[in-house]
Amino acid sequence: MRLELIAPGKTIVEAHTYNQLFTLHGVIMIFLFIIPVVPAIFGNFFLPIMLGTDDVSFPRLNLISWYLYILGGVLALSTLFVGHGPPDTGWTFYAPYSVRTGTNVTLAVLAAFILGFSSS
């Protein structure tokens, strides 16, 4: 990613491809790693230790959260292969460009929503 920005203009990939890679990198790093890590570590590991119990309070609800995480991850990664190409709007999915682009933004936003819902 940084090697592409070493000089103005095209270094390795076109601008559209760079935007797609940037969006994919952001979705994977934010929605598949950063957001799930904090609730998973504190809710599944530290909280039962702090309470002195063997397991979390609602293990089936915790399992549903895991299945939603897997579903959201599969949907996020499937945006590479279905539709009109990977989304190219950045990981924030800002409305002016994400509404006008012809790429697969709707599925990526749905995946981000499911991933966010699985961590709450």
The 10s digit of each residue's pLDDT in 65-83 is: 889 999 999 998 898 888 7
Please compute the mean of the pLDDT values over residues 18-32 and round it to a whole number.
86
Chain segment 33-54, per-residue pLDDT in tens: 888 887 777 877 888 888 888 8
* Residues contacting 50, CB < 8 A, separation 6+: none
Task: Look at the pTM and tell me if it is higher than 0.85.
Answer: no
The two three-digit tokens of residue 32, written as one number = 């598949």
pLDDT band at 120 (very low <50, low <70, confident <90, very high): low
Q: Report domain extents, the chain.
A: 4-118
Shortest CA distance to 48 belongs to which of 60, 36, 34, 59? Answer: 59
Cβ partners under 8 Å of residue 84, min gap 6: 102, 103, 104
Q: How far is CA 2 from CA 18, 21, 22, 26, in A?
A: 11, 12, 11, 14
Residue 98 scores a pLDDT above 80: no
Tell whether the model's pLDDT for residue 95 goes beyond 70: yes
Residues 27, 76: Cα–Cα separation, whole Å: 8
The percentage of residues in the chain with a pLDDT greater than 70, rounded to a whole number, is 99
Give me the pLDDT at residue 72, please. Answer: 92
Percent of the chain with pLDDT strictly greater than 90? 9
Give the mean model confidence (pLDDT) for residues 83-88. 82
